Amino acid sequence: MKKVKDLKWNERITVKDLVKQMESCGFQATELKQAAEVIIKMKKNGAKIYLTFTSNMATSGLRGLFAQIIEMGLIDIVVTGVGAIEEDIMRAKGEEFVIGNFGVDDVELHEKGVNRVGNLFVTNESYCNFEDLMRPMLKKLYQEKNRWNVSDMLKKFGEELEDENSILYQAAKKNVPVFVPGITDGALGFHLFLFQQEKPDFVVDVINDFKKLTYYTTHDDKKGVIALGGGIAKHQALLACILNGGMDYAVYMTTDQEFAGSMSGASTREAKSWGKIKDDSDAATVIGDVSITFPLMMCYVLEILNEEK
Protein backbone atom coordinates (compact mmCIF):
# COMPACT_ATOMS: atom_id res chain seq x y z
CA MET A 1 0.00 0.00 0.00
CA LYS A 2 1.40 3.37 -1.03
CA LYS A 3 1.86 6.04 1.60
CA VAL A 4 1.85 9.81 1.34
CA LYS A 5 5.29 11.36 0.97
CA ASP A 6 6.18 15.02 1.25
CA LEU A 7 6.96 16.82 -2.00
CA LYS A 8 10.28 18.67 -1.97
CA TRP A 9 12.06 21.12 -4.26
CA ASN A 10 15.78 20.98 -4.97
CA GLU A 11 17.88 23.13 -7.29
CA ARG A 12 18.35 20.34 -9.83
CA ILE A 13 14.76 19.14 -9.96
CA THR A 14 13.43 18.21 -13.42
CA VAL A 15 9.85 17.83 -14.63
CA LYS A 16 10.36 14.06 -14.53
CA ASP A 17 11.50 14.26 -10.88
CA LEU A 18 8.56 16.49 -9.98
CA VAL A 19 5.96 14.20 -11.55
CA LYS A 20 7.56 11.19 -9.85
CA GLN A 21 7.17 12.95 -6.51
CA MET A 22 3.58 13.86 -7.35
CA GLU A 23 2.70 10.15 -7.40
CA SER A 24 3.01 10.09 -3.60
CA CYS A 25 1.40 13.48 -3.03
CA GLY A 26 -2.24 12.41 -3.27
CA PHE A 27 -5.31 13.98 -4.87
CA GLN A 28 -4.99 14.84 -8.58
CA ALA A 29 -1.18 14.85 -8.43
CA THR A 30 -1.30 11.06 -7.98
CA GLU A 31 -3.81 10.71 -10.82
CA LEU A 32 -1.56 12.72 -13.15
CA LYS A 33 1.35 10.33 -12.59
CA GLN A 34 -0.96 7.37 -13.19
CA ALA A 35 -2.18 8.95 -16.46
CA ALA A 36 1.42 9.40 -17.61
CA GLU A 37 2.14 5.71 -17.00
CA VAL A 38 -0.94 4.71 -19.03
CA ILE A 39 0.34 6.72 -22.01
CA ILE A 40 3.76 5.12 -21.71
CA LYS A 41 2.08 1.70 -21.78
CA MET A 42 0.09 2.71 -24.88
CA LYS A 43 3.25 3.54 -26.76
CA LYS A 44 5.36 0.62 -25.56
CA ASN A 45 2.62 -1.88 -26.41
CA GLY A 46 2.19 -0.54 -29.94
CA ALA A 47 -1.30 0.88 -29.51
CA LYS A 48 -2.75 3.21 -32.12
CA ILE A 49 -3.15 6.43 -30.16
CA TYR A 50 -6.06 8.82 -30.64
CA LEU A 51 -5.62 12.40 -29.45
CA THR A 52 -8.86 14.31 -28.99
CA PHE A 53 -9.12 17.90 -27.83
CA THR A 54 -11.58 20.77 -27.85
CA SER A 55 -11.06 23.79 -30.07
CA ASN A 56 -10.10 26.20 -27.30
CA MET A 57 -6.96 24.21 -26.58
CA ALA A 58 -5.56 25.01 -30.03
CA THR A 59 -6.25 28.69 -29.34
CA SER A 60 -3.76 28.42 -26.49
CA GLY A 61 -0.07 27.62 -26.61
CA LEU A 62 -0.88 23.91 -26.32
CA ARG A 63 -1.12 24.04 -30.12
CA GLY A 64 2.66 23.82 -30.46
CA LEU A 65 2.89 20.85 -28.07
CA PHE A 66 0.19 19.00 -30.01
CA ALA A 67 2.14 19.61 -33.23
CA GLN A 68 5.37 18.45 -31.60
CA ILE A 69 4.03 15.13 -30.30
CA ILE A 70 2.54 14.46 -33.75
CA GLU A 71 5.95 15.19 -35.29
CA MET A 72 7.63 12.87 -32.77
CA GLY A 73 5.36 9.99 -33.78
CA LEU A 74 3.44 9.65 -30.52
CA ILE A 75 0.00 10.27 -32.07
CA ASP A 76 -1.67 8.24 -34.84
CA ILE A 77 -5.09 9.92 -35.14
CA VAL A 78 -6.39 13.38 -34.20
CA VAL A 79 -10.05 14.26 -33.58
CA THR A 80 -10.94 17.85 -32.74
CA GLY A 81 -13.32 20.76 -33.33
CA VAL A 82 -13.37 23.10 -36.30
CA GLY A 83 -12.19 26.08 -34.25
CA ALA A 84 -8.87 24.29 -33.72
CA ILE A 85 -8.44 24.09 -37.49
CA GLU A 86 -9.27 27.75 -38.03
CA GLU A 87 -6.94 29.05 -35.38
CA ASP A 88 -4.15 26.65 -36.29
CA ILE A 89 -4.26 28.04 -39.83
CA MET A 90 -4.45 31.63 -38.54
CA ARG A 91 -1.35 31.16 -36.39
CA ALA A 92 0.47 29.38 -39.20
CA LYS A 93 -0.18 32.40 -41.42
CA GLY A 94 1.18 34.89 -38.90
CA GLU A 95 -1.87 35.90 -36.87
CA GLU A 96 -1.16 36.61 -33.21
CA PHE A 97 -3.52 36.07 -30.27
CA VAL A 98 -3.29 38.24 -27.17
CA ILE A 99 -3.34 37.16 -23.53
CA GLY A 100 -5.83 39.41 -21.73
CA ASN A 101 -7.84 38.61 -18.62
CA PHE A 102 -11.08 36.91 -17.64
CA GLY A 103 -12.62 40.01 -16.07
CA VAL A 104 -12.50 42.37 -19.06
CA ASP A 105 -15.56 44.34 -20.26
CA ASP A 106 -16.92 42.07 -23.01
CA VAL A 107 -19.24 44.72 -24.45
CA GLU A 108 -16.22 46.97 -24.90
CA LEU A 109 -14.31 44.12 -26.55
CA HIS A 110 -17.17 43.59 -28.99
CA GLU A 111 -17.17 47.25 -29.92
CA LYS A 112 -13.43 46.98 -30.64
CA GLY A 113 -13.84 43.87 -32.80
CA VAL A 114 -12.19 41.54 -30.33
CA ASN A 115 -13.46 38.05 -29.45
CA ARG A 116 -12.63 36.46 -26.09
CA VAL A 117 -11.79 32.80 -25.43
CA GLY A 118 -11.33 32.76 -21.66
CA ASN A 119 -8.38 35.12 -21.19
CA LEU A 120 -7.27 34.90 -24.84
CA PHE A 121 -8.28 37.55 -27.40
CA VAL A 122 -8.76 36.94 -31.14
CA THR A 123 -9.60 39.89 -33.37
CA ASN A 124 -12.23 40.07 -36.10
CA GLU A 125 -9.37 41.08 -38.40
CA SER A 126 -7.78 37.66 -37.88
CA TYR A 127 -11.01 36.02 -39.00
CA CYS A 128 -11.21 38.33 -42.03
CA ASN A 129 -7.67 37.34 -42.97
CA PHE A 130 -8.67 33.70 -42.52
CA GLU A 131 -11.54 34.24 -44.95
CA ASP A 132 -9.10 35.66 -47.51
CA LEU A 133 -7.02 32.49 -47.17
CA MET A 134 -9.92 30.08 -47.44
CA ARG A 135 -11.29 31.13 -50.81
CA PRO A 136 -8.15 30.34 -52.88
CA MET A 137 -7.57 27.14 -50.91
CA LEU A 138 -11.11 25.92 -51.62
CA LYS A 139 -10.82 26.89 -55.28
CA LYS A 140 -7.66 24.81 -55.53
CA LEU A 141 -9.42 21.83 -53.95
CA TYR A 142 -12.35 22.15 -56.32
CA GLN A 143 -10.07 22.22 -59.35
CA GLU A 144 -8.70 18.84 -58.25
CA LYS A 145 -12.09 17.27 -57.55
CA ASN A 146 -15.51 18.30 -56.27
CA ARG A 147 -16.02 15.79 -53.44
CA TRP A 148 -13.80 15.59 -50.35
CA ASN A 149 -13.68 13.72 -47.09
CA VAL A 150 -13.05 16.16 -44.23
CA SER A 151 -9.75 14.53 -43.23
CA ASP A 152 -8.48 14.51 -46.83
CA MET A 153 -9.40 18.18 -47.19
CA LEU A 154 -7.56 19.05 -43.98
CA LYS A 155 -4.47 17.16 -45.15
CA LYS A 156 -4.44 19.38 -48.25
CA PHE A 157 -4.69 22.45 -46.02
CA GLY A 158 -1.73 21.20 -43.98
CA GLU A 159 0.36 20.75 -47.11
CA GLU A 160 -0.19 24.45 -47.88
CA LEU A 161 1.25 25.57 -44.54
CA GLU A 162 4.89 26.17 -43.61
CA ASP A 163 4.85 26.29 -39.85
CA GLU A 164 6.60 23.65 -37.72
CA ASN A 165 4.25 24.54 -34.84
CA SER A 166 1.13 23.85 -36.89
CA ILE A 167 -1.01 20.84 -36.06
CA LEU A 168 -2.19 20.48 -39.66
CA TYR A 169 1.32 20.90 -41.07
CA GLN A 170 2.82 18.19 -38.88
CA ALA A 171 -0.19 15.89 -39.36
CA ALA A 172 0.12 16.18 -43.14
CA LYS A 173 3.87 15.62 -42.95
CA LYS A 174 3.52 12.50 -40.75
CA ASN A 175 0.40 11.23 -42.54
CA VAL A 176 -1.68 11.48 -39.35
CA PRO A 177 -5.36 11.94 -40.25
CA VAL A 178 -7.22 14.83 -38.60
CA PHE A 179 -10.95 14.24 -38.17
CA VAL A 180 -13.39 17.08 -37.48
CA PRO A 181 -16.93 15.66 -37.25
CA GLY A 182 -18.45 19.11 -36.61
CA ILE A 183 -16.82 20.78 -39.61
CA THR A 184 -19.66 23.31 -40.07
CA ASP A 185 -19.56 24.52 -36.45
CA GLY A 186 -17.41 27.59 -37.05
CA ALA A 187 -16.06 30.11 -39.53
CA LEU A 188 -14.70 27.37 -41.80
CA GLY A 189 -18.16 25.82 -42.03
CA PHE A 190 -19.59 29.17 -43.05
CA HIS A 191 -16.99 29.51 -45.82
CA LEU A 192 -17.74 25.98 -47.03
CA PHE A 193 -21.40 26.95 -47.20
CA LEU A 194 -20.65 30.10 -49.18
CA PHE A 195 -18.39 28.24 -51.60
CA GLN A 196 -21.07 25.62 -52.20
CA GLN A 197 -23.53 28.37 -53.16
CA GLU A 198 -21.14 29.24 -55.96
CA LYS A 199 -20.27 25.60 -56.79
CA PRO A 200 -23.36 23.52 -55.98
CA ASP A 201 -21.62 20.23 -56.81
CA PHE A 202 -18.92 20.87 -54.19
CA VAL A 203 -19.40 18.35 -51.37
CA VAL A 204 -17.60 17.78 -48.06
CA ASP A 205 -18.54 14.24 -47.12
CA VAL A 206 -18.73 13.79 -43.33
CA ILE A 207 -20.38 10.36 -43.57
CA ASN A 208 -17.58 8.87 -45.66
CA ASP A 209 -15.09 10.48 -43.29
CA PHE A 210 -16.76 8.74 -40.34
CA LYS A 211 -16.42 5.47 -42.28
CA LYS A 212 -12.70 6.19 -42.69
CA LEU A 213 -12.35 6.86 -38.94
CA THR A 214 -14.30 3.71 -38.05
CA TYR A 215 -12.16 1.52 -40.33
CA TYR A 216 -8.89 3.09 -39.19
CA THR A 217 -8.42 0.39 -36.55
CA THR A 218 -9.51 -3.23 -36.30
CA HIS A 219 -10.68 -5.47 -33.48
CA ASP A 220 -7.16 -6.89 -33.23
CA ASP A 221 -5.39 -3.54 -32.93
CA LYS A 222 -4.40 -2.18 -29.54
CA LYS A 223 -6.09 1.21 -29.18
CA GLY A 224 -5.58 4.09 -26.78
CA VAL A 225 -7.14 7.51 -26.38
CA ILE A 226 -5.88 10.73 -24.81
CA ALA A 227 -9.07 12.79 -24.45
CA LEU A 228 -8.58 16.43 -23.46
CA GLY A 229 -11.95 17.86 -22.55
CA GLY A 230 -15.01 16.29 -24.09
CA GLY A 231 -17.68 17.16 -26.60
CA ILE A 232 -17.95 15.79 -30.10
CA ALA A 233 -14.21 15.17 -30.51
CA LYS A 234 -13.98 12.81 -27.53
CA HIS A 235 -17.24 11.07 -28.38
CA GLN A 236 -16.43 10.54 -32.06
CA ALA A 237 -13.17 8.73 -31.29
CA LEU A 238 -14.80 6.50 -28.68
CA LEU A 239 -17.84 5.84 -30.86
CA ALA A 240 -15.66 4.80 -33.81
CA CYS A 241 -14.02 2.13 -31.63
CA ILE A 242 -17.21 0.53 -30.29
CA LEU A 243 -17.48 -1.67 -33.38
CA ASN A 244 -13.91 -2.95 -33.01
CA GLY A 245 -13.87 -3.84 -29.35
CA GLY A 246 -13.31 -0.56 -27.55
CA MET A 247 -10.21 1.17 -26.24
CA ASP A 248 -7.49 -0.80 -24.44
CA TYR A 249 -6.10 2.37 -22.83
CA ALA A 250 -7.71 5.67 -21.92
CA VAL A 251 -6.55 8.92 -20.36
CA TYR A 252 -9.17 11.59 -19.71
CA MET A 253 -8.19 15.14 -18.70
CA THR A 254 -11.05 17.50 -17.94
CA THR A 255 -12.38 20.23 -15.67
CA ASP A 256 -15.89 18.75 -15.74
CA GLN A 257 -17.68 16.30 -13.44
CA GLU A 258 -19.98 13.41 -14.31
CA PHE A 259 -23.07 14.54 -12.35
CA ALA A 260 -24.56 16.50 -15.31
CA GLY A 261 -24.28 13.63 -17.78
CA SER A 262 -22.12 15.54 -20.27
CA MET A 263 -19.53 13.94 -22.53
CA SER A 264 -16.90 16.25 -21.00
CA GLY A 265 -17.63 14.83 -17.56
CA ALA A 266 -18.32 11.25 -18.59
CA SER A 267 -15.95 8.96 -16.70
CA THR A 268 -13.97 5.99 -17.98
CA ARG A 269 -16.29 3.84 -15.84
CA GLU A 270 -19.30 5.20 -17.73
CA ALA A 271 -17.56 4.52 -21.06
CA LYS A 272 -17.31 0.83 -20.14
CA SER A 273 -21.10 0.62 -19.97
CA TRP A 274 -21.19 1.56 -23.68
CA GLY A 275 -18.33 -0.67 -24.74
CA LYS A 276 -16.24 2.38 -25.67
CA ILE A 277 -13.50 1.25 -23.29
CA LYS A 278 -12.76 -2.39 -22.54
CA ASP A 279 -13.68 -3.80 -19.14
CA ASP A 280 -10.02 -4.58 -18.38
CA SER A 281 -8.57 -1.39 -19.90
CA ASP A 282 -5.82 0.68 -18.29
CA ALA A 283 -7.53 3.99 -17.63
CA ALA A 284 -6.89 7.19 -15.69
CA THR A 285 -8.70 10.50 -15.25
CA VAL A 286 -7.14 13.81 -14.23
CA ILE A 287 -9.43 16.62 -13.10
CA GLY A 288 -7.90 20.02 -13.77
CA ASP A 289 -7.03 22.66 -16.35
CA VAL A 290 -5.41 20.91 -19.31
CA SER A 291 -3.14 23.90 -19.96
CA ILE A 292 -1.43 22.89 -16.70
CA THR A 293 -1.89 19.13 -16.42
CA PHE A 294 -1.16 18.09 -20.01
CA PRO A 295 2.29 19.76 -20.37
CA LEU A 296 3.42 18.32 -17.03
CA MET A 297 2.24 14.85 -17.96
CA MET A 298 3.65 14.92 -21.49
CA CYS A 299 7.05 16.23 -20.44
CA TYR A 300 7.31 13.27 -18.06
CA VAL A 301 6.12 10.83 -20.74
CA LEU A 302 8.53 12.15 -23.36
CA GLU A 303 11.48 12.12 -20.96
CA ILE A 304 10.83 8.47 -20.07
CA LEU A 305 10.31 7.37 -23.68
CA ASN A 306 13.36 9.34 -24.82
CA GLU A 307 15.58 7.77 -22.14
CA GLU A 308 14.42 4.30 -23.12
CA LYS A 309 14.72 5.08 -26.83
Active site residues per annotation: 276
Q: What is the DSSP string of the chain?
A: ----------TT--HHHHHHHHTTT-HHHHHHHHHHHHHHHHHHTT-EEEEEE-HHHHHSTHHHHHHHHHHTT--SEEEE-HHHHHHHHHHHTT---EE--TTS-HHHHHHTTEEEETTEEEEHHHHHHHHHHHHHHHHHHHHH-SEEEHHHHHHHHHHT---TT-HHHHHHHHT--EE-TTTTSSHHHHHHHHHHHHSTT-EEEHHHHHHHHHTTS-TTS-EEEEEES-HHHHHHHHHHHHTTT-EEEEEEEES--GGG--TTT--HHHHHHHTSEEEEEEEEEEES-HHHHHHHHHHHHHHHHHHT-
82: left (phi over 0), alpha (psi -120 to 50) or beta: alpha
As a whole number of angstroms, the distance between CA 50 and CA 161 comes to 23
Burial class (CB in 10 A: 0-12, 13-18, 19+), 46: exposed
